[in-house]
Amino acid sequence: MKMEFSKQLQATETAIPGVVVYDLPVHGDNRGWFKENWQREKMLALGLPDFTPVQNNISFNEKAGTTRGIHAEPWDKYVSVATGRIFGAWVDLREGPSFGAVFSTELDPSQAIFIPRGVGNAFQTLEDNTAYSYLVNDHWSADAQGQYTFLNLADETADIPWPIPLRDAELSDKDKLHPRLAGVAPMPAKKTLVLGADGQLGKALRKEYDGDTTVEFAGRAEFDLASAASYRDRNWKNYSTIINAAAYTAVDEAQSPQGRSAAWAVNVAAVAQLANVASTHGLTLVHISSDYVFDGSHAEHPEDEPFTPLGVYGQTKAAGDAVVSVVPRHYIVRTSWVIGDGNNFVRTMASLAKRGIKPTVVSDQIGRLSFTADIAAGIRHLLDSQAPFGTYNLSNEGEPQSWADIAADIFELAGSTRNAVTGVSTAEYFKDKAASPRPLNSALDLAKIRAVGFRPSPAADALRGYLNV
C-alpha cells in the first residue's frame, strides 16, 4: 500500500465518542518523507482536546501479525505510525451508553488517532518492521496497571475483523486470557469533587447532582482547605473537575484583624492550592466569585470590568479570581446576593413579616438575587455543554431592585403590606457600626451566560418558589 503524500490535515469522527482519526500532511521526495506528527496549535484548531501529553513511547514490531491489546488505559493517547502499517481496533470500555461500541481501521504514517481514557485499543501489524508511537498524558507506572481494563481480542460481541486471523497472529499469553465483554467491569468515569458541600451553594449542588455517582461531595470534615494533607493525599488522577463552593463570606468580620487573616486564608491561599492542583493535573476548576470585586460604579457589571474592591472581603475575592484565571481549564462564576438553604435575607424578612415587625432596609444598594438552585444549574450547564472557559456572571434575571424593594416583595408575599418596610440609605443604616463598605450597584450583565445557552429563572419567580407561594 503506497502512502498518500500532501493530504490536508483533517479530523474524522468515529462511532466511539471522543475517538478521532487524523489525516496528517506527509511531504515526500526522492530522499524519503517528512510529516508533522504532532502540532498542538493546528490540532487544537481541529478540535483535539488539549490533553497535555507528558510521555512519548514507541512500539517496534519485527513481524507482520504481531497483535497487542485490547487494553483500556487510565489516560488519553495519541497514536501514530512511524513506519509500516497497522490494523487498529478500538472498543469503548467506559461506563455509559456507548460501552461496547467498536471502531476499526488501517493506519499508515499519514494518519493518527486520538483515544480517550477508558477506550480499549488493539493493534495488529500488517508489515514487517512496523513501529508506532503514542503520546500519553500521564506517566506510566507499575501501579497504574491495576487501573487498566481489558477485553479479549477474540470477543464475539466486538467481532473485530482481524486481517490476519488470531490463530496465525503473534499474541502474548496474557492477552489470550483477557475476559469477554460480558465479564468486563467498565472503567468508571473521572469524578467531580464539590468542596464546601455543606454550605448554601454546596447543598444546592447536592440536589442538582443527586444520584450522579461521578460527583463526590466534601465538607470541611472531608476536605480541610487549611490542611496541606487535603491536597497532597488525594489521588487527583481520578478526578476531572473541582467545584469550589467553599468561601469565607463574613463581609463585616473580614474587616477585623482575625477576619482579615481568615478571609485571605480561605479565599486566596486555599484557592491558590486548588489552582495548583488543577493546573498540575489538567483538571477543570470552577470557582465562585462575587459582585464585591467591584465598587458598584457601573450600571451593570460586565465580566471583564477591572477589579475595584472596596473592602477586605472584596479584595480577597478579587485576588482569588486572579489566581484562578491562570488555570488553563477554569470557570469563574460571579454571583451577587446569594440565597439558598440557610440563614439569609429572604428568610429573615419573611420571619419579620410573620411576626409583624416593621424593618428598616437599605434602599440605595441595587442588584439582583442569585438563588443557589439557579447557580448550581448554571454551573452544571457550563460543564455539560463544555462552554468556553472563562468568567461568567450568573444571577437571576429581572429588573435590578434595592434591598428595600425586595423586602417589600417578601412582606407582600408573606401576607403583610409593602409599606411595612422603610427604606434608608447605606450611610444611615451603618452609621456608628463596624461594617465593610458595600458596592451600591451589584447588578451583573448576564449576556455572556445567555449566549452559551443558559437562562436563569426570573428573580421574582424564584422568590415565589423559595417562599412556596
Question: Cα(346)–Cα(447) distance, rounded to whole angstroms?
Answer: 26
Task: Give the residue-averaged pLDDT of 334-344.
Answer: 95
What single DSSP character describes residue 118? T
**CATH of the domain spanning 10-183:** 2.60.120.10
Other beta carbons within 10 Å of 40:
12
Task: Give the residue-averaged pLDDT of 243-253.
Answer: 96
Domain ranges for the chain, please list them: 10-183, 191-467
DSSP H or E run through 392: strand 390-393
Question: Cα(294)–Cα(118) distance, rounded to whole angstroms?
Answer: 44
Active site residue 209: no
Task: Give the residue-averaged pLDDT of 446-450.
Answer: 97
Of residues 129 and 52, more confidently modeled: 129
Question: Cα(240)–Cα(231) distance, rounded to whole angstroms?
Answer: 15
Question: Cα(409)–Cα(94) distance, rounded to whole angstroms?
Answer: 50
Q: Which long-range contacts (CB under 8 A, 24 or more apart) does 277-281 make?
A: 277/231, 277/236, 277/242, 278/242, 278/327, 278/329, 278/330, 279/326, 279/327, 279/328, 280/236, 281/236, 281/237, 281/239
pLDDT of res. 469: 80
pLDDT of res. 33: 83
Exactly one of 22, 71, 301, 313 is catalytic; which is it? Answer: 71
- For residue range 346-377, list pLDDT tens digits in order: 999 999 999 999 999 999 999 999 999 999 99
pLDDT of res. 32: 84
pLDDT of res. 365: 96
Task: pLDDT band for 434, please (50, 70, 90 cuts).
Answer: confident
Of residues 374 and 137, more confidently modeled: 374
Question: Cα(367)–Cα(406) distance, rounded to whole angstroms?
Answer: 10
Residue-by-residue DSSP string for 261-316 = HHHHIIIIIHHHHHHHHHHHHT-EEEEEEEGGGS-S-SSSB-TTPPP---SHHHHH
Per mean pLDDT, which range of 100-104, 192-196, 213-217, 434-438 is the poorest? Answer: 434-438
Is 141 a residue whose pLDDT tops 80? no
Report the percentage of the chain scoring pLDDT > 70: 98
Task: Give the residue-averaged pLDDT of 224-229.
Answer: 93
Locate 24 and state its grid cell: 496528517
3-state secondary structure (DSSP) of residue 442 = coil
Per mean pLDDT, which range of 27-36, 150-159, 392-401, 444-453 is the poorest? Answer: 27-36
Task: Classify residue 201 as exposed, middle or buried by CB count within 10 Å of its CB (0-12, 13-18, 19+).
Answer: buried
What single DSSP character describes residue 463? H
pLDDT of res. 146: 63
pLDDT of res. 295: 95
Residue 224 neighbours by CB under 8 Å, 6+ apart: 230
- Give residue 443's identity as a one-letter amino acid code: A
Is 39 a residue whose pLDDT tops 80? yes
Exactly one of 22, 78, 132, 134 is catalytic; which is it? Answer: 134
How far does CA 382 lie from the centroid of its chain? Answer: 8
pLDDT of res. 8: 86
CATH topology of domain 191-467: Rossmann fold (3.40.50)
Active site residue 71: yes
Task: Give the sign of the dihedral formed by CA 254, CA 259, CA 260, CA 264.
Answer: negative
Task: pLDDT band for 143, please (50, 70, 90 cuts).
Answer: low
Rg (CA), the chain: 28
Task: Give the residue-averaged pLDDT of 186-193.
Answer: 95
pLDDT of res. 167: 95
What single DSSP character describes residue 162? -
Task: Classify residue 206 as exposed, middle or buried by CB count within 10 Å of its CB (0-12, 13-18, 19+).
Answer: middle
Supply the pTM of this predicted model: 0.88
pLDDT of res. 155: 97
